[in-house]
Chains A and B, each alone.
Chain A
Amino acid sequence: MSAVDIRGLGKVFNQGAANQVDALVDVDLSIASGEFVSLIGPSGCGKSTLLRLVANLLEPTSGSITVNDKTPKQARLDQDYGMAFQQSGLFEWRTVAKNIELPLELKGWDKSKRRERAMEMLELVKLPDFAEHYPWQLSGGMQQRVAIARALAVHPPLLLMDEPFGALDEMTREHMQSELLSICRRTSTTVVFVTHSIPEAVYLSNRVVVMSPRPGRITKIVDVNIEGERTDATRDNAAFFAGITAVREALRGVEMSDHVRGIEDR
């Protein structure tokens, strides 16, 4: 069964207007259950748009998407996916535990059940002692872990992440990547991960989807063949470097009007 199935997908912004933008054309992508897929490409290649279409935060102009064999809208209503952004987006007036409970609260779970799940999630992201802290008392990396815990609180089969580690320093970032992989292994979650960083994409993914702008489309899908469990040692692995080279070459074919790593403006 495929977790996400995208066929002939197109998205046009401001259709018919002078500032019409073809954000995505003719995108076909099938993501298997349990797979980790990264979307990479220069600014304006539509990777964030693609993620938002899957999340049903945007409506496609043409083509179709299914998430867990449902329409994206149904999947959103059923909370079949969790989402994490570059900014952790934690609510500063809520404690860490209360932040994680938010999606459960909206679903109408009762209080003790919510608290139980929040503690379970905090255990998962290794922050069990911070339940009663406020987000602003935590470091950036810790905040991002809480955001991941919140995204996974409803135990969704799919996790959508838009540059979640983009604002973190390199060391925290690498640490968080390993953490994310171990969390996904334990929960067998499917992940679609938008990033600007080639090593990040290669380290995390089974497949790296390379995209190019104007109009936004998929230019190449790179399979990453790293044997066994990925650990920090993987970063010195020949297969890891081979993956990086492959993705870099795929990106080189892409028109490089913008630098690949940097802040994307939407």
Chain B
Amino acid sequence: MKRFRRVALFLTSLLLVAVAWEVYKLVGPEAGGKIFGWSLLPRSNDRAMPHVWEMLSRYADPEVRGSDRQIWRVVLAGAWFSFRLALVGFVVGTFFGICLAVLMCRFKVAERGILPYLVVSQTVPLIALAPLVVSWGGKIEVFGWSWPRWLSASVLGAFLAFFPVAVGALKGLQSPPAASIELMQSYAASWTQTLFKLRFPASVPFVVPALKLAASSSVIGVVVAEISTGLKGGIGRLIIEYARAATSDPAKVFTAVFGAALLGLAMAGFVALADMFMMRNRPKEATT
């Protein structure tokens, strides 16, 4: 019953957004408008804001004239392609994030030495980094295995994803109270035993919200990497391609944008499942 209500609420909110869009199109100024001399009101003409039904109906049209692949197939395939890349990025990023957190938790020196660099790493513009990663990757060949192009996009997703995980996991690993640590000491538990029996389980409530951030970050990383490296097959590439035709066919761009939104939703759903699994036996107050 609760689940049904949530789905109903979600659909209602979608509908409300669509209605708001159409209402603005109806009353908003065609060529944009000014409030107290500031141009704030967006243009409501068909080129800037296509009708909702126009965008939706475009999904059934073929992608290019004469082709038998409808847009919804192309967008869905693109979203699925990017989803897999983002998932790889998410997993790799989470793995490295947790490893870094363990390292920082084990050695105080590492925390002081590494943490500032982690913060700096996140201020490097992804657009600048993307071509570099692709060119570095292109030179890697180990035992006949060569670096596939898509892996560069995943790496950039991981590059954004590891940060919240590292910070959240570090906080979580350090969260057990002194009494719990003393208790483990009194049992003559080794550092590794304390890590697995106490610190990791204690960090779960901190890691779960970090994973939610990491999931959306990995999607952003992958989509931006696709756009800036021109990787074919993903939703990022579709957005770029469709945007070129935006002046003549504005509704088409939105089909790809919604595809990217769907991708984000899928990623969020994936993490929500992980959340439910990991927090199943926790006190209710601790659930996020």
Interface string of B15-56 (1 = CB under 8 A from A): 000000000000000000000000000000000000000000
B283→A81 contact, CB < 8 A: no
The one of A86, A92, A102 that contacts B187, using a Cβ cutoff of 8 Å: A102
Contact of B112 with A by CB under 8 A: no
> Which residues of B are found within 8 Å of A107, using beta-carbon distances?
187
**Size category, A interface:** 20 to 34
- 270-287 of chain B: CB within 8 A of chain A: 281-283, 286
Q: Least Cβ distance of A102 to chain B in Å?
A: 7
Q: Least Cβ distance of A40 to chain B in Å?
A: 21
A106→B197 contact, CB < 8 A: yes
> Which residues of B are found within 8 Å of A87, using beta-carbon distances?
177, 179
B189→A106 contact, CB < 8 A: yes
A106→B183 contact, CB < 8 A: no
Q: Least Cβ distance of B280 to chain A in Å?
A: 10
> Which residues of B are found within 8 Å of A136, using beta-carbon distances?
283
- 194-212 of chain B: CB within 8 A of chain A: 197-198, 201-202, 204
B180→A89 contact, CB < 8 A: yes
Majority DSSP secondary structure for residues of B touching A:
helix
Residue count of chain B within 8 Å CB distance of chain A: 21
Q: Least Cβ distance of B277 to chain A in Å?
A: 13
Contact of A134 with B by CB under 8 A: yes
With contacts A57-B182, A93-B204, A106-B187 known, what are 13 further pairs, Cβ within 8 A? A76-B188, A79-B188, A85-B179, A85-B182, A85-B183, A87-B179, A91-B202, A92-B283, A93-B201, A93-B281, A93-B282, A94-B201, A106-B188
29 contacts between A and B (CB under 8 A): A52-B182, A55-B186, A57-B182, A57-B185, A79-B187, A79-B188, A81-B186, A82-B186, A83-B183, A85-B179, A87-B179, A89-B177, A89-B179, A89-B180, A89-B183, A91-B180, A91-B197, A91-B202, A92-B282, A92-B283, A92-B286, A102-B187, A102-B197, A103-B187, A106-B184, A106-B187, A106-B189, A106-B197, A134-B283
